[in-house]
């Protein structure tokens, strides 16, 4: 039950800055771009990316919140899902939407997010940001932008802590059966 920090606050900040630049480069600017954070920690990450983009591009990119609670494929095995509202500040039809999440693992969260997004409209294209990619995909989903790749064992847990949610910025790897 040992915990090891695998990203510090400074490393998270650098990753967000790099990813923000990569998003602008790949999309040839910010025209028609929308960021959609997946609840819970994808939302503040999307906002931080938008702030970084605004700092060097001079234009604010719209940021939406995406709740996937009712789109998960494991609803039957979970106790009551926590349902939050999804909010997109602009129509996503024909836009480039960048989904943002903290960790990509099996790919099931992203699949659910794509279903939720499709119910809101038809984007021109969808890209994916993951602050941390820990491998072990069960679905053929790969992020377009990654803060850090960290191979993990299935028995390990990854915990992303963000200032706005948890009071600090860090990513830790928990070995063993320690509870989150």
Q: What is the pLDDT of residues 9-37, one digit of tens each?
A: 999 999 999 999 999 999 999 999 999 99
Question: What average pLDDT is seen over the chain?
Answer: 93
118, 166, 128, 142: which is closest to 38 by C-alpha? 128
Go through 35-64 and write b for each residue having 16 or more CB atoms within 10 A of its CB, e for each that does not: bbbbbbbbbbbbbbbbebbeeeeeeebbbb
pLDDT 10s digits, 87-111: 999 999 999 999 999 999 999 999 9
What is the residue-wise DSSP string for 8-45? -HHHHHHHHHHHHHHHHHHTTSSTTEEEEEETTTHHHH
Beta strands in the chain (DSSP E): 3-7, 33-38, 63-66, 96-104, 125-133, 145-149, 157-161, 170-174
Q: Is the pLDDT of residue 77 over 60?
A: no
Quick one: tokens of 19? Answer: 């990813």
Instruction: Report the phi/psi class of residue 4: left, alpha or beta, with left for phi > 0 and alpha for psi in -120 to 50.
Output: beta
Q: Is the pLDDT of residue 82 over 90?
A: no
């Amino acid at each position: 039950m040992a915990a090891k920090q695998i990203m510090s606050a400074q490393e998270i900040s650098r990753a967000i800055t790099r990813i923000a630049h990569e998003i602008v480069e790949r999309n040839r600017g910010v025209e028609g771009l929308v960021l959609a954070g997946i609840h819970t920690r994808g939302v503040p990450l999307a906002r931080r990316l938008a702030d970084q983009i605004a700092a060097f591009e001079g234009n604010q990119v719209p940021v939406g919140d995406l709740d996937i609670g009712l789109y998960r494929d494991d609803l039957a095995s979970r106790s009551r899902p926590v349902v939050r509202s999804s909010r997109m500040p602009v129509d996503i039809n024909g836009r480039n939407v960048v989904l943002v999440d903290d960790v990509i693992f099996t790919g099931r969260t992203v699949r659910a997010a794509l279903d939720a997004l499709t119910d809101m409209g038809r984007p021109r294209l969808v890209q994916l940001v993951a602050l941390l990619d820990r491998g072990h995909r069960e679905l053929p989903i790969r992020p377009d932008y990654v803060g850090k790749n960290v191979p993990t064992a299935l028995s390990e847990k990854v915990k992303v802590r963000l200032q706005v949610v948890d009071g600090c910025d860090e990513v830790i790897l928990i070995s063993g059966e320690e509870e989150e």
